[in-house]
Chains A and B, each alone.
Chain A
Amino acid sequence: DAKTTQPNSMESNEEEPVHLPCNHSTISGTDYIHWYRQLPSQGPEYVIHGLTSNVNNRMASLAIAEDRKSSTLILHRATLRDAAVYYCILVNTNAGKSTFGDGTTLTVKP
């Protein structure tokens, strides 16, 4: 399985934008980039996914590098409720499974 690399932790101030990076230099052409987050005492929650183009939804934006070897999850205005572990995952269309990397723990300061 292709691997992702994320910083262990990041901090942000409330109401400021947050850019969470992910490196996936061994990504294949059939790998989609998914992001999940896990709040304390909960199961992971889907955030966003994309293949080649940048994507936006009500939760976040996903910026994908032109060579697809990296991507960035953007939270436009962080709130205290966004404090969580954020996982960047490569999902292969053929494998039918999602393998989680180590994730980034986001701390949001008031």
Chain B
Amino acid sequence: DTEVTQTPKHLVMGMTNKKSLKCEQHMGHRAMYWYKQKAKKPPELMFVYSYEKLSINESVPSRFSPECPNSSLLNLHLHALQPEDSALYLCASSQVGGIEKLFFGSGTQLSVL
């Protein structure tokens, strides 16, 4: 199984809503990542978890709250988002981290109204 599964595939939320994005992998990878991608732009790194601990936060606003409950799961909790947060949110995983290749999910397309 070399898949990274993200749910939901599409999400529409209001600025006062609370929602969560989910990511799952069963490859035994111990590093997991959240990226944000705006239309026609490259993915931008948001967070990195290594061995279930947050190792990198790229100065992401606190309205985005990551969580790694175990080595297979990664969540991104969303609260009080702005319309400019509308984007494709990509999850990735890799062995340990560093130079290892990343395996990406297909993403969650988020629209904030």
Contacts and interface: CB of A to CB of B under 8 A. Distances in A.
Contact of A43 (B44, B50, B106): B106
A96 B107 contact: no
Interface of B is mostly: strand
A49 B42 contact: no
A44 B43 contact: yes
A42 B106 contact: yes
A34 B56 contact: no
B interface residue count range (under 10 / 10 to 19 / 20 to 34 / 35 or more): 20 to 34
Given A43-B107, A103-B42, A96 B55 contact: yes
Interface in A68-105: 87, 91, 93-94, 96-103
Given A49-B101, A93-B98, A87 B42 contact: yes
A96 B41 CA distance: 22
B91 to A, nearest CB: 8
Of listed B43, B50, B55, residue having the most chain A CB within 10 A? B43
Contacts of A91: 98-99
Contacts of A101: 42
B102 A46 contact: yes
A103 B92 CA distance: 19
A34 B103 CA distance: 13
A interface residue count range (under 10 / 10 to 19 / 20 to 34 / 35 or more): 20 to 34
A41 B97 CA distance: 26
A41 B104 CA distance: 12
B48 interface: yes
B42 A100 contact: yes
B18 to A, nearest CB: 25
Nearest to B50: A96
Given A46-B103, A93-B98, A100 B50 contact: no
A49 B98 CA distance: 13
B48 A100 contact: no
B81 interface: no
Interface of B: 4, 31, 33, 41-45, 48, 50, 55-56, 90, 92, 97-99, 101-107
